Structure 1
Amino acid sequence: MTEKLFYRDAYQTEFTTKLVKADQDEGGRPYVVLEETAFYPTGGGQPHDTGSLNNVRVIDVEEVDGEVRHYVTLPIEEASTVNGVVDWSRRFDHMQQHTGQHILSAILQDEFDLATLSFHLGKDTVSIDLDGESLSEETLHKVEQRVNEVIGENRSIETKWMTVDEANHYPLRKSLSVDEAVRLVIIPDIDYNGCGGTHPRSTGEVQMMKLLGWTRQKRNVRLEFVCGNRVLEQLEKKHSVLTGIKTLMKRPEEELEQEVSSLLKESKAKDKQLAERTAQLLEFEARDLAAAPQENGKVSIVQQFFENRTIKTLQDLGKKIVEQAPNGIVILVSEQKDQLQFVLAQGSDVSGNMKEAAQHVMPLIEAKGGGKPGFVQGGGTKALAAEEFADRLKKAALETMK
């Protein structure tokens, strides 16, 4: 088995070793197995390291059937020795985030009775799922303050290999899932946890933590956060956005929240007013169309073509027309850039079946749609001209009345 150098020293980023195996997986990805490695494979919620082997990029590291596979961008030629270099910035970032999670989970469980169910270290943020239903702003503030106190105390972090019996003499946060030797990560008086991840020598190297917020995940809570250099990255992003808003609004920073709130209220009021005016216009349009229908025996037919009308507008207009023309059939077709959209409806005094009629005609334009016997809508390609498609709908609708 490959000797895992990162367990001996998480700060080691360069090493020279022997090539044990060069192969490719079932998907054709080339990989190598080494006699020893400083590359951490994905596991325990922590992502893999990246770097290079003999100047060939390592893009993934996995432990498969007991062997540590280093997936590379190009096959590595047979060589007696291999020189490896781990990307330190990625490694140290993962060390900061993972250790921050240990401290956070310990504080949440010991001081707020919230157990951690799972942990995910993402590219930009980190999250843990908690056995709880909600988190108050007061709780978040206290938790963040307490975690940063522990970080600032610069407590030592130890890692020890021991038997399960020996580990059980410590106040473990959760039961061990292994029977053989276990690696215990110890932050004295804070956390005692079986863990295979990489960690710094002291909590001070985590630098700081910022809680970003929480969301409901089924019956649990997902809490998102960042540590160390990621806090500065998040601050830079938010500062950039805030600076942009200040430039647009010409307001002091402390007044921006109130200004945005006022603008949103104004926007909602205008949207409501616009919707009311649009509804009025549709009412007038429906009245005009219903007043001048094409007669077809005892049934009046309202047939109209449009350009770039949305299906929602066609639906609203169709409903208003049939209200004013209970003995009518309404055929509305809108021509878009590369498709046709339509509404086919009948008034309350008409005995046809518009859904059945539409199903006969829709295949002509590869249309999809649906509705009820009295009101159908849909859309498809421009395989037919709008006028011809409308005539086909009208013919099919009248057939259902015979």
Structure 2
Amino acid sequence: MTEQLYETNPYQKNFTATVLSCKPCSGNHWNVVLDRTAFYPEGGGQPGDIGTLNDITVTDTQIKNGIILHTTTEPLDPGTQVTGCIDWDYRFDLMQNHSGEHIVSGIIHADTQANNVGFHMGKDVITIDFDLPLSPEKLPEYERLANQAVWDNLATEITCPDAATLQTLDYRSKKELTGKVRIVTFPGYDTCACCGLHVLHTGEIGLIQLLSIQKHKSGSRIEMLCGQRAWEYCHAVRTQNHAISVALSAKPLETAAAVQRLKQENNALAARISALETAAFEKKAAELQNAGNVVLFEEGLEPFSVRKLAVAVMETCGGWCAVFSGSDETGYKYAVGQLDGDTRNIVRAMNQALHGRGGGKPFLAQGSVQASRAEIEAFFAGLSDG
């Protein structure tokens, strides 16, 4: 049995130990068993520690059948004395986020009786799954209460009560527990059965940010960040908001209003452009009254406008209408249509000849081709000759 140093001192970064065994595992790695370790194995929602053993990289720590396995990139001989060093930045980040998760889960459980039924500490965000729908409007209040726990700098309490005492405790747990139960308490906020590692005082969490509440299965999922992750998120948001502030000549706390005004102006301009475009397309359609089959090239049209022009002209020209917009370098978007007609054979042949893709209904198809204007014109000239 490996002595678990992290249980008595989760802040221990270095230690010495003896290698008990070393066996190869997948990916040209080895599983090393020590007589004592400060490396925490994955459990309680917290990933396993990483670090080094005698400067050999430890990429993961797991526990299987009660045996703690340190996955290393090189083998170590049994009987060897090693110096272990955990990656403290990685560990402390997990401790901060794990502790913050307890506080948030406790606050939400007290408010709604929702149970934490899933917890994942990802590389980017922390997610907590609850078994009841939660209101997004409550998110700011939950965040404020969680940070109040941080500001109170409460001492974390960890106990292993006997069976009789355990029966008297009101604590959270995802499943029925037997035997030795480790209880983690953040006074006034949460009491939970947990085998993970936590900060000694809530002030060490630093900051708790609740990013979102989303519907998840029949309940809800919260995305959150704590500690340095939360600070980095706030810094990134502040940096982006500063750039927006400068671009819009708006004060940092007025960027949302400035963006809303810009959006309204853009919508008004888009509506005016659409009206002008409609008028121009109607004029073009009138000019091509009874012109028969028509091939048009127009610059700078979006796919919707390509379709819009094709529809306008095909209703007047008396044949099929093919509209293209793009360039020889990037290719051309197209729309091909014929009023009460069937353009499928034309579109199929065009896609094959001009490296195109697309389709639609018999009377109107859209897509794109990777060909030059000259090649497109030659294709349709061939149709006319036929």
Question: Normalized against structure 2, the TM-score is what?
Answer: 0.84
Alignment correspondent of 1:367:
356
Query: 2:315 aligns to what SS in structure 1?
Result: helix
Change beyond 3 A, Cα 1:133–1:52: same
Alignment correspondent of 2:289:
291
Counterpart-to-counterpart distance in 1, 2:128 and 2:164: 28
* 2:328 paired with 1:330: no
2:153 and 2:202 in contact (8 A); partners too: yes
Identity of aligned residues (%): 27
- How far apart are residue 198 of structure 1 and its match? 0.7
Q: 1:56 is aligned with what amino acid?
A: I
- How far apart are residue 317 of structure 1 and its match? 1.5
Change beyond 3 A, Cα 1:380–1:248: closer
Counterpart-to-counterpart distance in 1, 2:199 and 2:304: 58
- How far apart are residue 114 of structure 1 and its match? 3.2
1:37-186 alignment, distance < 5 Å: 37-64=37-64, 67-72=67-72, 74-78=73-77, 80-137=80-137, 139-161=138-160, 167-174=166-173, 176-186=175-185
1:331 and 1:394 in contact (8 A); partners too: no
Alignment correspondent of 1:389:
379
1:333 and 1:341 in contact (8 A); partners too: yes
Counterpart-to-counterpart distance in 2, 1:355 and 1:44: 60
Q: 1:389 is aligned with what amino acid?
A: F
* 2:191 paired with 1:192: yes
Q: Deviations over 1:329-388 (max 9, x none)?
A: 12334554254543322112x4xx322443355333443322111112223443992123
1:330 and 1:344 in contact (8 A); partners too: yes
Q: For structure 1, which runs of at least 5 residues remain unmatched after alignment?
A: 294-299
Alignment correspondent of 2:267:
268
Q: Deviations over 1:240-275 (max 9, x none)?
A: 233333433444444444333322222222222223
Query: 2:309 aligns to what SS in structure 1?
Result: helix
1:305 and 1:332 in contact (8 A); partners too: yes
* 2:321 paired with 1:316: no
1:366 and 1:381 in contact (8 A); partners too: yes
* 2:355 paired with 1:345: no
Counterpart-to-counterpart distance in 1, 2:56 and 2:382: 65
Alignment correspondent of 1:297:
none
Q: 1:388 is aligned with what amino acid?
A: A
Query: 1:269 aligns to what SS in structure 2?
Result: helix
1:333 and 1:390 in contact (8 A); partners too: no
- How far apart are residue 66 of structure 1 and its match? 5.0
Alignment correspondent of 1:296:
none
Structure 1 range deviating more: 367-376 or 328-337: 328-337
Q: 2:294 is aligned with what amino acid?
A: V
Q: 2:59 is aligned with what amino acid?
A: I
Counterpart-to-counterpart distance in 2, 1:344 and 1:247: 45
Question: Normalized against structure 1, the TM-score is what?
Answer: 0.81
Alignment correspondent of 1:245:
244
Change beyond 3 A, Cα 1:31–1:374: same
- How far apart are residue 324 of structure 1 and its match? 1.8
Q: Deviations over 1:127-172 (max 9, x none)?
A: 32333434254x3343233333333333332334467776444212
- How far apart are residue 102 of structure 1 and its match? 0.8
* 2:293 paired with 1:301: yes
- How far apart are residue 391 of structure 1 and its match? 4.5
Q: Deviations over 1:191-249 (max 9, x none)?
A: 33221211122333324423333333354333233333344333323332333334334
Q: 2:58 is aligned with what amino acid?
A: V
Q: 1:291 is aligned with what amino acid?
A: Q
1:96 and 1:205 in contact (8 A); partners too: yes
Change beyond 3 A, Cα 1:276–1:46: farther
2:19 and 2:76 in contact (8 A); partners too: no
Query: 1:7 aligns to what SS in structure 2?
Result: helix
Q: Give the total of aligned pairs.
A: 382
1:32 and 1:71 in contact (8 A); partners too: yes
- How far apart are residue 14 of structure 1 and its match? 0.8
RMSD: 3.2
Change beyond 3 A, Cα 1:158–1:278: same
Q: Deviations over 1:292-346 (max 9, x none)?
A: 73xxxxxx21123456754433222111111223x31123345542545433221
Query: 2:197 aligns to what SS in structure 1?
Result: coil
Counterpart-to-counterpart distance in 2, 1:242 and 1:361: 48
1:12-51 alignment, distance < 5 Å: 12-26=12-26, 28-35=27-34, 36-51=36-51
Query: 2:183 aligns to what SS in structure 1?
Result: strand
- How far apart are residue 104 of structure 1 and its match? 1.2
